[in-house]
Structure formats: C-alpha cells, structure tokens
Amino acid sequence: MTMSVDYHIPVLIERVAQGLRIEQIRHVWDGTLGDGGYSLFFLKNSATIRVVGIDLDRDAIKRAEMRLKRYADRFQAVEGNFSDIDAVAVQLGISEADAIVVDLGISRLQVSDPDKGFMFSKPGPLMMRMGGARSIDAKTIVNEWDESDLARLIREYGEERHARRIARAIVWARSNDPLTTTDQLAQVIRRTIPSDRAVKSLARVFQAIRIAVNDELENLRSFLPKALELLAPGGRLAVVSYHSLEDRICKEFFTSQIRPCTCPPELPICICGRQPTIRWVERLARPSAEEVLNNPNARSAKLRIIEKI
C-alpha cells in the first residue's frame, strides 16, 4: 500500500511557468524547492528542461528527491541557502541560468510538523528553524532578547500593533521560568490580546520570530543581485512573496535596476550613463479568487517577474 503525502500546493504555478517560458528554456533554478511542486511542474511540462532545486530544509530535500526520482537525470537537489546561489553554481560548474524562481516562506509540511515549532495551534519546541546550521532559534529570541528588541521585532516583522503589550507580557511570563514550547508562547499571547483578535496576533508574532530566526529578509536582499548576476541575458527571475516586507525588498531592488539613473531630477538629460539592467515581465500578479478558494495559503501571494537585458 502506498501512503499519500499531503504535499504543499504550489502557488501561482501556471503564471510562474508561463512567465519563465518553461517550455523554451534549458536550465531553471528552483531556489525554494520545498515539496518540489514547482520543479515537478517544470519537469513534467518540458521534456528537455534541467532543474536545480535548493532548500535549507534537509527533510524537504529528501521528500522532493523521492517525489521527483523519475526525473533524476534532469533534476538535482542541493541542501543550502538560496542566498548562496552563486557558490552553489560554482560548486555545480554552472555559469549561467535561463530562469530562477523563489517561492518564499515555509511549506505546508513544515508548518504542520510540530517538532519544527512553527505552529501556534499545536505544542512543540520553540524552534522555527527552516534548516541549516543557524545558532539562533525561537527559544533564544523569546527568552533572551530584551523587551524593547522584542517589541521592535514584533512590530516590524509581524506588523502587529499590540507589539509593546505582547513583548511586556513575554518578559513577565519568562521571569518565572523560560518559555520553551509553542503553546506556552501562544498562551501568553492569548492572555494578552482579546480573544476575537488573538489568532491574528498569534500568526503575526510567530511570523515575526520565524523571519528573525531564519534571517529571511537578509537572505532575500543578498540573493537578488546574485540571481541577476547568474542569469544569462534574456534570462528571467520570478519571486513569489507572502508579506509586504519581502515584496518591498523585491520591488525596490527591481526598480533600482529598471531605473538606475542617479542624476538629479532637475537635469534635463541623464549624465550618469547608468542603463537599465532588467525589464518587467510581470510587474505584479495575484492569485485568482478561484485559486484562493482552493488554496487559502495563496491569499497573500504576490508574483513579480523580471527579465535580464
């Protein structure tokens, strides 16, 4: 009897594949392999495409390798950080890519694994590490950061307006015993925020801590210029993001490459000579109402695609 696995449902997959021109290209990088949903679609829809998948999470790598084993001659998985895409390319002897995609955040199977500690609705250790040899985990942040740093984290990365109140409650709660599990942290938040708003606050606080533990914004900042460098001229990069902080980083980076001129606006002509390095393919795409209905995890997704000139 074969066990069916409840894989992550790929978001905006057809728009991504179409925007990257999957049927015409040879080499694509899936920088956030996850359960291999994107990679599988690419491999199925082109008989010649080669895919390199990167993921921080060793469990995700193993799952995707199993799922894609029939394509082993055209698929390679690498455990690593997409912010090291340049080093991974050197290691694999690849000098150019036709297309690169990252689908940010965490996968359904990561969220629902209580041992990884991403879930506020089930008890688990306060971890929230996607993978890799990170020194910090959620327990360290929750128990060792001072109140003002916690409040800033929750406000900036979680966009939670009760950040100060929640930070104060965490500091008070940990003064007796350290908080070591997701349900202990969740209880503190539930005691602090009125019940009708508690779930949203829980999601925001857990998101904020996860972003910090995994250095998600810094990884994205460091990845974008490296991805552009690796792309061949005419190559395309797609980013699917799920919150405004990630999307802002992409938008600002892409805009700086599309309009790189640094001349003062009062100058009638450009004298700095900086030329655009990319152009928009998809300025902003959102999932349809139908996709969100079938996959509520897609609701906040934003897709941007650029082409290297």
Which residues make beta-bridge pairs with 97? 231
Q: Which is nearer to ligand SAM, 52 or 306 (CB)?
A: 52
Nearest to 67 by CA among 40, 33, 47: 40
Pairwise CA distance, residues 138 & 115, whole Å: 13
Rounded least distance, CB 284 to ligand SAM, Å? 19
Binding site for ligand SAM (CB under 6 A): 8, 10, 32, 34-38, 54-57, 60, 81-83, 103, 105-107, 110, 130, 219
The two three-digit tokens of residue 134, written as one number = 């990170």
Q: What is the b/e burial string over 252-278, where b = at least 16 CB atoms within 10 angstroms of the residue's CB?
A: ebbeebeeeeeeeeeeeeeeeeeeebb
Minimum distance from CB of 286 to ligand SAM (Å)? 16
Q: Given the complex with ligand SAM, which of 39 and 257 has the nearer CB atom?
A: 39
Nearer to ligand SAM, 104 or 154 (CB): 104
Rounded to 5 degrees, what are φ and ψ at 281? -105, -45
CA dihedral 75, 81, 84, 90 (to 10 degrees): -30
Judged by beta carbon, residue 219 or residue 257, the one nearer ligand SAM is 219
Nearest-approach distance from CB 84 to ligand SAM, in angstroms: 8
Question: What is the nearest approach in angstroms of ligand SAM to the Cβ of residue 53?
Answer: 9
Residue number with CB closer to ligand SAM (41 or 179): 41
Phi then psi for residue 231, to 5 deg, are: -65, 140
Minimal distance, residue 112 CB to ligand SAM, in Å:
13
| Size of the chain, expressed as the number of residues it contains | 309
